[in-house]
Structure 1
């Protein structure tokens, strides 16, 4: 009796330790998440933020300078950089970019410091240089973090806060490349119309009505839409008498209908203030907004960058009271990552549930499928171990959406081996074997097909992980997860499943 009890304790302890190891290793090795893989597109891009109002001649001079700088690198390898196959310079009044391709497609990433060094030589220009990702998400891409900053405050206070956030980000995370849209440098003269509350009240005009009137006389005010099956949606605009305003004084003379029906000039209802403004105004919920476009540095993923910005920049500034009245939210790949995480988590649980119910229906039992499902934590642990090994010994590989699909695929793959052992054990019991003999015979007769099927899967998946071809590097993460999950699960399944079975059917006597 003591011997039986000690064996029971040892087996229980082994099962607990293996399960705890699986959960602990999966938790500790789980990396920060990314949205989509960068890929290896043969194109490097520098995006410039030129001074507002840059002229055609200045843009042409930029192009000539870049051509002189890069021409020697088109003739062959130089200074350790790969040969440039082609490059193009695109310049308009609002968009300036440089794109280059490598003669050797596998070395395009090495052009990044070259293009960055050329960009630095352009006076008054800020630029961010990165490899063009395969996937674009709306305004951003899979390797950019978009952060929106809005505030219901005066323009100068908002700009000062935006500059402070920018300085803090560059000080705390100097390896990132950051662009602002629009630029925070005020260089354009503008006239601000500031309502006088008492004058508006006396005239029976609201601030909203004043704003609509000014809009209608200047660029027009959208008041509705007309939908036509052939033409689509047409905006209905309220437009005052079309004329050009040559100076601010002409704007002051715009007439607005008062509450009594008599026209009143704007100059009697509002004050005007001449200030320097930005090139264009970006708004969110009718509030001025600035967009931070932050390019991920090599080796950093989206979730990691977002956490760094929150902990090192945003949270300390909120604690110091520097972000009162400021709203900060992420968009682009970052917001899509959150929704994708929730969707995949639900799909993972659903896959486990469907697999369990399917096995319960096939085995006509709800208990034995539960034993089989013990292989899933092992597979998850092996998946994270495989991903970690790829990161350490092959190439940086993030936990992106495609990689996460590998964990869902693992559920249907790793249960096959335990099914063989459990099903053969149940067959042996039906033929009258004792519980212990049934388990030993099932393991002995099924170990060869288990190793055969697993080995073919592992060796078939190995080239995808070790030496992927052009385009297939997108699936390297998924391959490493499946490879590691199947390998670890197969090894421990041969010990864990028999131990679990022996706890419940091991004491059954043979039937004569």
Structure 2
């Protein structure tokens, strides 16, 4: 090849080019963003609407349905689902993968404008939000104060820690949760206030109007213009106590009308770190920012901050995504290094020449650095998957270099000079390695046409492998000939290994002779093995993505709706006792009164507690996070009345393992059917914690206003609602400035007047006539249970049952669930069941990736046909592709690994790899035949001659992937199935190819010659 000749004849110029590429590659490596996974974009947007005071049914009718209908008319919309709750609605709009979400959200806002006038007047404009994974926190912190003083802790967080972190480059937002704030409460006795002829609203206005600093114009005095300020702002509680309030009995100090308490605001949410009261901080990064860089900057700021914090204040990381990223990338990098060492060991074993081994060894870092350059300009990030792609490509990177070096080495042994051997050896085999590289690279082209989550995850991996192979082709064609022409040294002495390999080569020649005597027998035996391997498929399960041990366990614990915060805290104490016995737990952080995804409309849920549990490093524990979660799950079963879900190995972007949706018109029927589904799937082995998203209605008090009676007194419904709201929630009348903070001054009716329905019924309502009318005189007050929420999908009401899976694969579990529901459950007319979650994602990915594999086979054949200028040779080589199934199925069976997206991507890569050996072998057979050698002799000479490069390339690829196959370190779970598929598939395919391809070639060539002879005979006749 001309490029090889140029590199050998112009070594200085080529050396300078190589140095320049290395410098650029190292610079690009420094600037490559580092993340856990590639940046994901989900084609989902949400519409949120608030409608204070409206119930779920009214919201469904007046808001949800009109919005659903208008959203369904937008192009590329795949589904529309909604949740209607008291006070608001959330409508999720899912688009097809590949949709431009900026344009889609703009389209959503335009459609909402069309129906704005049809919505109730009091409803504010609906908000459109995009679902962005970057909205999830990258770091969560817990801050504890030595005395457990949450007022001080929260002030410290809001005034010192939060502003310090807000200024970190790449931080989008810092949110604070938990803690308490100071408040001054004015406890009101309604009867006492009534005796003075003062209403609550009048008292609020009087207090607010006195706490003011106002400008009073200006005064001209002695040639000076002096501004006038009226200072009447409260400076202490004493000012409040002595504030004169005009009443029917004269001016009375405020302290005589109300009881003034310096206290804290009512707590709706509490946070605890390892049982100690704490304040939580969540840090969100800006879109496109480098997660590791941002986390490192945050940790650096925290170290600076800790020096200035009061003694005893502690800041602990509950969750730090960068820690897992660094552990995962470190593990993959070590696997790459170990794979490189094993590949180099194989080279030395075969060549027994340190200089030749170093030549190949140098090609690995040069190829990797060149790959980083490609990655930088293509916009990829350094993450678990792109580095996994490099780890997968480590063994393949040296394949091209090995084939060329081995050929150069062989020619040197035949007496060629260094430069002649380098040029002739590269030119002789160059076309074959270009074709073999292109066959491996071209298999990734179909992934470009695959959509969905799997494609977003594996496209970067495919690109990194493709870039590494193209870089290895560059090093093989330029650097290997260059270094070989300068440094290669051939030993005339035959090593013991070489002597042993020659005996192996002779043995292989003998076996090949027997195969060629009965080629059809070899073909038949291979075909039988191929069919027999499918007998293993019932024992191999299916999964979407493998679970990743991130050392993190989550607990979602709930009491019956309406439970008070104190009851939830008692439940938390019971859970803490259980967690205290789990040795693997490093720290646990719980939020009592946690919010859910509907927090925009629903606010806090005081019956709920959310745990974030950080486990010790993987090296310090014997059990995986899934096993720890199962232990916690079993021990928490003894806590009564609580509904508790324990989760682990959650990647954050795949759905629930089991997700069954029941759809139909009536919500009560849906509840009954979902309960039946839960009961049936609970019997299925491996199913854990089945539960539905149908929640019983919250206990509530309904106040039904008698309009006739109320109108008799001139009282309107809004006035009644306002009076009740002021009585139960209090009324902020003003704010008191103290020590640099502003504290709410809240008028609160004494609890004893609102502690029961009877007391509430005595609440006095101000009539326009001046009368004080008790609430029971104009309204009926009773305890009731209202609906909680109504969920809809594609304009039908639905209830979804979700569950997790333990010690079973997803595919067989879903199949058993489907069979159970089909045989034991009958659905009423108008109702149906569908499966979603990971099963839906898995089926979609399997279908698309199977199509990609089929297309890859066609593309590989086309590349080989172009290389050989024939349809005959590529057709023979393609027989090496299906026989990989034997090794793939055996590998998955032996390692107890289910077939998943990672395995399918491994098969896709394998499709391009396995033909390489066939290309090298057939190319040499054709070369010998072109020189006039008989087909039988050409096969017998080409097989042993190409045995060493075939075994070397196969072994370097296989041994390079052994560390990933064994799953060393954190974050290798996704690459492990790919590595297993490639290692076992290539191992079996290599040995079968060495016998099967020659046999098929010989049979096909005989058939071809017989046909040619028959045609020539017919022409003579």
Q: Do both share a fold (TM > 0.5)?
A: yes
Equivalent residue number for residue 188 of structure 2: none
User: Is residue 463 of structure 1 aligned with residue 976 of structure 2?
Assistant: no
Aligned to 2:659, which of 123, 141, 146? 146
Equivalent residue number for residue 116 of structure 1: 633
Q: TM-score, normalised by structure 1?
A: 0.73
User: Is residue 442 of structure 1 aligned with residue 951 of structure 2?
Assistant: no
Equivalent residue number for residue 523 of structure 2: 15
1:439-459, Cα deviation, whole Å (9 max, x unpaired): 111101111111111111111
Determine the C-alpha separation between the residues in 1 that align with 2:718 and 2:531.
72
Equivalent residue number for residue 591 of structure 2: 90
User: Is residue 163 of structure 1 aligned with residue 680 of structure 2?
Assistant: no
Equivalent residue number for residue 127 of structure 1: 644
Equivalent residue number for residue 383 of structure 1: 888
2:559–2:568 CA contact under 8 A, matched in 1:
no
1:96-115, Cα deviation, whole Å (9 max, x unpaired): 33232222425343422442
The alignment covers a number of residue pairs equal to: 406
Determine the C-alpha separation between the residues in 1 that align with 2:515 and 2:899.
41
1:127–1:179 CA contact under 8 A, matched in 2:
no
Equivalent residue number for residue 269 of structure 1: none
Equivalent residue number for residue 705 of structure 2: none
Equivalent residue number for residue 475 of structure 1: 975
Tell me by how many angstroms 1:302 deviates: 2.3
Determine the C-alpha separation between the residues in 2 that align with 1:243 and 1:8.
99
Determine the C-alpha separation between the residues in 2 that align with 1:484 and 1:429.
33
SS in 1 for 2:973: helix
Determine the C-alpha separation between the residues in 2 that align with 1:338 and 1:278.
36
Tell me by how many angstroms 1:7 deviates: 9.0
Q: Which has the higher contact order (CA 8 A, sep 6+)?
A: 1
Tell me by how many angstroms 1:86 deviates: 0.5
Tell me by how many angstroms 1:316 deviates: 1.2
1:447-487, Cα deviation, whole Å (9 max, x unpaired): 11111111111111111112422112321111000000110
Determine the C-alpha separation between the residues in 2 that align with 1:499 and 1:242.
94
Instruction: Indicate the larger mover: 288-297 or 88-97.
Output: 88-97
1:51–1:125 CA contact under 8 A, matched in 2:
yes
Q: Structure 1: any 5+ residue segments left out of the alignment?
A: 1-5, 74-80, 192-239, 247-273, 392-396
Equivalent residue number for residue 898 of structure 2: 398
Equivalent residue number for residue 613 of structure 2: 100
**Equivalent residues in 2 for 1:16-415, closer than 5 Å:** 16-26=524-534, 28-29=536-537, 31-71=540-580, 73=581, 81-92=582-593, 93=605, 95-105=608-618, 107-109=623-625, 110-137=627-654, 140-141=655-656, 144-153=657-666, 155-173=667-685, 175-183=687-695, 185=696, 188=699, 244=721, 276=785, 278-298=787-807, 300-313=808-821, 315-318=822-825, 321-391=826-896, 397-415=897-915
1:238-265, Cα deviation, whole Å (9 max, x unpaired): xx9998599xxxxxxxxxxxxxxxxxxx
Equivalent residue number for residue 420 of structure 1: 920
SS in 2 for 1:65: helix
Determine the C-alpha separation between the residues in 2 that align with 1:431 and 1:8.
21
SS in 2 for 1:468: coil
SS in 2 for 1:48: strand
2:515–2:995 CA contact under 8 A, matched in 1:
no
1:19–1:377 CA contact under 8 A, matched in 2:
no
Equivalent residue number for residue 210 of structure 1: none
**Equivalent residues in 2 for 1:493-504, closer than 5 Å:** 493-504=993-1004
Instruction: Indicate the larger mover: 401-410 or 281-290.
Output: 281-290
* Aligned-residue CA RMSD (Å): 2.9
Instruction: Indicate the larger mover: 416-425 or 84-93.
Output: 84-93
Equivalent residue number for residue 261 of structure 1: none
Summarize the Cα distance change of 1:7–1:35 in structure 2 as closer, same or farther, 3 Å threshold. closer
Q: Structure 2: any 5+ residue segments left out of the alignment?
A: 1-513, 594-604, 703-716, 725-782, 1011-1021
Q: TM-score, normalised by structure 2?
A: 0.38
* Max Rg structure: 2
